[in-house]
C-alpha cells in the first residue's frame, strides 16, 4: 500500500499510521491479524462487520488498533499504536 500519513499522537504516547491499498478488507484483516499474532500480539477485541475491519491487539504494555474500510475502490487502513489501554 501507499503511506498516506504518519504522526505521533501525544494524547496516548503513541503513533498513528494511515495507509491506502488496493487489497480488499478481507485480505487486509488476514494480513494484519496473522502478522500481529505471529509476533506475539494477542487479539483482544474484533468487531469487524459488513466489510469494515476493526480489531485491537495487545502485547507487553502496548495496544494496537487496526481499522480498514473501502472507499472509492481503495481500502484505507488506520493503525493506532499506543500505551496499553486499561
Q: Which three cell numbers stand for residue 69?
A: 474500510
pLDDT(22) > 90: yes
Decide: 18 and 78 in contact? Cβ < 8 Å. Answer: yes
Handedness of CA 13, 15, 30, 60 (dihedral sign): negative
Reported pTM: 0.89
Q: Where residue 16 falls among pLDDT bands split at 50, 70, 90?
A: very high
3 state DSSP class of 58: strand
pLDDT digits (tens, 9 = 90+) for 23-71: 999 999 999 999 999 999 999 999 999 889 999 999 999 999 999 999 9
Judge whether residue 86 has pLDDT over 90: no
Amino acid at each position: 500500500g501507499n503511506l498516506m500519513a504518519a504522526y505521533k499522537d501525544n494524547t496516548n504516547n503513541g503513533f498513528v499510521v494511515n495507509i491506502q491499498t488496493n487489497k480488499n478488507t478481507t485480505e487486509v484483516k488476514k494480513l494484519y491479524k496473522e502478522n500481529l499474532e505471529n509476533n506475539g500480539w494477542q487479539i483482544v477485541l474484533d468487531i469487524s462487520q459488513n466489510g469494515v475491519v476493526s480489531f485491537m491487539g495487545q502485547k507487553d504494555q502496548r495496544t494496537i488498533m487496526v481499522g480498514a474500510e473501502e472507499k472509492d475502490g481503495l481500502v484505507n487502513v488506520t493503525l493506532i499504536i499506543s500505551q496499553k489501554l486499561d
